[in-house]
Amino acid sequence: MIKTIFATILTAILAFGTLAQTPPQTPPPPPPPPESETQKPPETPPATTTEPAAEPEPAPQTPPEPPPAPVPEPAAKPQPGPTVLSDAASASYERRESLPTINLYLPEGQASVRLRKLIKNVLFESQIDYEFVNGDISTFLRYKYYARNYTYRIGVFDSIEFPDVTSSSKKEFERVRGGLLLIGLPRDYNNRYFFLLQDDRLTFGTDRPDNRKNNIYVKVGYQFGTQFDERMNAIVGEQRGRITPVLTAFREIGPQKTGLAAAITQGGEIATGDYTYTKFEAEGLRRFDITSTSFIFSRLHVGSFLARNSVDTPPPLRDRDGDGIPDPTPQWELYQIPQYELFRIGGREALKSIKSNDDSIGTHELHLTNEYFFPIFRNRDYRIGSLYWNTLYAITYLGAGTVGFKPNELVKGKRAVVDAGIGTESALTFRDYDIYFSVIYAKAVRKPEGIEEGNGFRFSIRTVR
């Protein structure tokens, strides 16, 4: 009898352990009825010795197994959260990835179309920039790999530019081809380090000091704060083929409200390189909240060539504008520096009202811009056909700066440029796209005689998926 009770307790314990390890399912059926006397195993006869009877030990055999658990009906078992997109979400994601992003710049008449595809840890990107007024065209191919502690990008590009259709320039074209390797080392969310190795091949359709030369250089950069600001990304990384908005898009600035980028570039006459120079460039960004919905973006940019070489023989005077009279040699041709590496005080990324030409560039530059954003409406959903108008900001702008080929020219008051303007920025939605439309009108308040004022209006249309 004792053996029977022990076997029953052991059976119950094993059955309970089996059920405890089984995932929650349909409740099992009630246990079977108790065994009848005829089903009980025979009892062991009592011992005949005079010594106290010891407790009987279980027979050395495998204890009876618990009854098999009932097979549950097919049911959805609890599963961990999916590690990949569902079929519906995946199809939507693939469709969005196959759609290009478009940026349009006016009055330059330039359009940029990007098509990118992310496959696991690798981003493949192709881009075409086309200026439909002058016929300028640039193509870019990029391969970017994302590792745990670093990223690297391999890119190649080919850019060709023609003179403005409204100018009397006799030059035929300017072409730059090259490749680069950009390595990024993010330390945390706010701090990132970069290393760039690039080779540019310069070819021009006219006689220029830098015709048929190579510019091989390395760059070491540091970036703090927002990683989505295209201007700062250009300072520490790739300069070409990027977004150049006319205003600072407030949606891309992180909650830290501060950004900083600084880099040192060293060109060398190694391998096929033809230039030796040392370039320093830095820019700081700060957002100041005036109210809960209005704010000011201030950007301070400074650049200087710490080392540079002058040309051995100044280029001869020649007729540059086709009027039959020899023109003075631009200052930038007196230095062994590619023209595109010089600093510019005018354009979308500097003073908005100043034209970017040979008179507004230099080896030393300093400028400050301020953009005040005041909301007309925010987070609305006004429908205009297939468009949904979400946000509209009014903007006032004020900028000041100076540029030159000598450090002391930056502190001369007569070289200072001041401009101001008004504008607006809107956020709209069209199907899978967010559309940012920016426009500004800027006018020079003060400028030296040699620096020309450009077109007052600048537009920017940018799509984001």
How confident is the model at residue 11, as a pLDDT? 52
Number of domains in the chain: 1
What one-character-per-residue DSSP string does 435-457 give? EEEEEEEEEEEE--TTSPB--SE
Angle at 381 between CA 376 and CA 386, to 5 degrees: 120
Residue 56 lies in a domain: no
In this structure, is residue 210 part of a structural domain?
yes
- In this prediction, residue 311 carries a pLDDT of 85
Predicted TM-score (pTM) of the model is 0.74
Residue 113, in any domain of the structure: yes
Position 200 scores a pLDDT of: 94
Residue 394 lies in a domain: yes
Is residue 419 domain-resident?
Answer: yes
Q: Are 433 and 465 in contact (CB under 8 A)?
A: yes
The CA-based angle 400-404-405, given to 5 degrees, is 160
- Which neighbouring-strand residues pair with 361? 344
Q: Residue 60 has which token pair?
A: 């050395």
> For residue 251, what pLDDT is reported?
59
Residue 57 vs residues 296, 299, 368: alpha-carbon distances, Å: 88, 88, 94
Within a domain: residue 28? Answer: no
**What CATH number should be reported for the domain holding residue 368?**
2.40.160.50
Instruction: Check residue 199 and give its pLDDT.
Output: 95
Question: 405 lies in which domain range?
Answer: 90-317+331-464
The residues of the chain scoring below 70 in pLDDT are 1-99, 164-171, 206-208, 249-256, 320-322
pLDDT of residue 84: 37
The answer to whether position 71 is within a domain reads no
- Cβ-based neighbour number of residue 447 at 10 Å: 20
pLDDT computed for residue 281 by the predictor: 97
pLDDT, residue 351, reads 94
* 32 domain residue, yes or no: no
SS3 147: coil
